[in-house]
Amino acid sequence: DVLLALGGVVVGGGWYFSDRLKGGALEPDRDPDQLDLQVVALEEGEVTLRATERASKDGDWTKEGIFGLEWAGGYGQVSAILRIDDEQVVREFSVIQGAPEIGEPARLDSFAFPGDPEQAHGIGFEEVVITSELGELPAWFVDGPRDTWVIFVHGKGANRREALRMLPTAVELGFPSLVITYRNDVEAPASPDGFYRFGKTEWEDLEAAADYAIQHGADELVLVGYSMGGGIVTNFLYELRLAERGVGGEKVNARRQLDKWLMKYGMTLEDIKKPEKRMYWFNPKGQFEKGLLLQCYAIVVNTSRPGQYKRPRQKGFKMTPRQYLELCSMYDFYTALWDKEVHHFFIAFIQKQGMYPKAAKDDHVALSMQELREHRKAAGMTDGIEKGNYVSTRKQIGDG
């Protein structure tokens, strides 16, 4: 009887703590934040806040630092503690939106800034959409001149505003910045089970954001994670290392990339298992793309004498389906990189030769951040370009 009674207690306690864990840690909290303080006095540049019964005795209201102060229909910012006792605190205060009334319920906001980058700091941004396996994930994008991007990942139960404290520093240093959402955010699709997984599944949304950054010009990434966002970053890096080593990651990153390639080139997993060689034809454009194709083929089949077949405007190779898939992937990658570098070389060539019209002072066109980045990169290529000395024929043939 004792054993049965004890078992009942253990099982009951297990269910109780399971529910607490589920509700407190795994399920997204959609309830509005409690207004656990009260505005009791306002003077020039300061506010007096009283802690209600719901406020923690050692909560943020007792701590130094910069916090947002939020009330119904308004937002401000508090900073240094001027006076404090067990029930209330007097802090430096500035209004950002609206104005609180005496007696108004309020709360401190650790994110410290309201709205979006424009509202908080006057930083221009673009609302972009990142596509993940679960659907569309909205993100803020702030452009910058550097090739290294910063990706901000907020914590559990938070939102993109959490990045507003650090974002101005990244922008000032010239880093393009992406502030993302992930599964189970209010603005994002829910996961199949609707639970947080502390990075175990959310890393896939960060992967989608990283892919977006790379596709839009990022050469390197700096990942910033807050709280659970740090767990998301850690899981992403772990899965990335597995895939790079081919350990376990074949089931995640590497297999996902393989599936993308198979779909892109119209093949199946069974196709690339076939050992027989067959003819594949390519349509390179111009001399340099033909050269790139031959270089890639030589690497794939590991030969210094690549054999090729020709027909009008096409080059053909005999290879296995697996080799064809690798060649297509490699050729697409280097062709895209070549096109990008040729574009930069063109800008560098124009810069080196000074091939600009003598425009009027009011005839200048403002460059976008993307164009500025391209011109800065091109400027580093001009040293290796020979400067020509074109002699105008105008004196001989006249201006007409």
Query: Residue 249 pLDDT more than 60?
Result: no
Top-confidence residue, 28 or 296: 296
Query: Residue 395 pLDDT more than 50?
Result: yes
Q: Could you tell me the CA-to-CA distances from 366 to 122, 183, 215, 287, 339 in Å, in that order?
A: 20, 39, 25, 35, 24
Under 8 Å between Cβ of 117 and 164 = yes
- Read off the pLDDT band of 21 (50, 70, 90): very low
Digit-coded pLDDT (tens) for 131-162: 998 999 999 999 999 989 999 999 988 899 99
Under 8 Å between Cβ of 166 and 159 = no
Tell me which of 216-220, 327-331, 349-353 is least confident: 349-353
Query: Residue 205 pLDDT more than 90?
Result: yes
Digit-coded pLDDT (tens) for 255-277: 666 777 788 888 887 887 788 88
Query: Residue 24 pLDDT more than 60?
Result: no
> Which superfamily is assigned to 117-259 in CATH?
Alpha/Beta hydrolase fold, catalytic domain (3.40.50.1820)
Domain range summary for the chain, segments of one domain joined by + = 37-109, 117-259, 271-336
Q: What's the pLDDT at 344?
A: 80
As a whole number, mean pLDDT of residues 251-256 equals: 57
Query: Residue 316 pLDDT more than 90?
Result: no
- Read off the pLDDT band of 250 (50, 70, 90): very low
As a whole number, mean pLDDT of residues 17-21 equals: 45
As a whole number, mean pLDDT of residues 179-194 equals: 91
- CA 68/CA 114 separation, integer angstroms: 8
Q: What's the pLDDT at 18?
A: 44
pTM for the model stands at 0.56
Q: Six-digit token pair at 322? A: 């697996």
Query: Residue 251 pLDDT more than 80?
Result: no
Q: Six-digit token pair at 295? A: 């270089």
Digit-coded pLDDT (tens) for 216-239: 988 889 999 998 899 999 888 877
As a whole number, mean pLDDT of residues 24-32 equals: 67
Q: What's the pLDDT at 391?
A: 64
The bridge status of strand 135-142 relative to strand 88-97 is unpaired
Listed in sequence order, the residues at least 6 apart from 176 whose beta carbon sits closer than 8 Å to its beta carbon are: 141, 142, 143, 144, 146, 148, 149, 150, 213, 217, 218, 369
- Read off the pLDDT band of 171 (50, 70, 90): very high
Under 8 Å between Cβ of 150 and 178 = yes
Tell me which of 174-188, 200-214, 221-235, 251-265 is least confident: 251-265
* pLDDT averaged over every residue in the chain: 81
Query: Residue 163 pLDDT more than 80?
Result: yes
- Read off the pLDDT band of 17 (50, 70, 90): very low
- Read off the pLDDT band of 350 (50, 70, 90): confident
As a whole number, mean pLDDT of residues 335-363 equals: 77
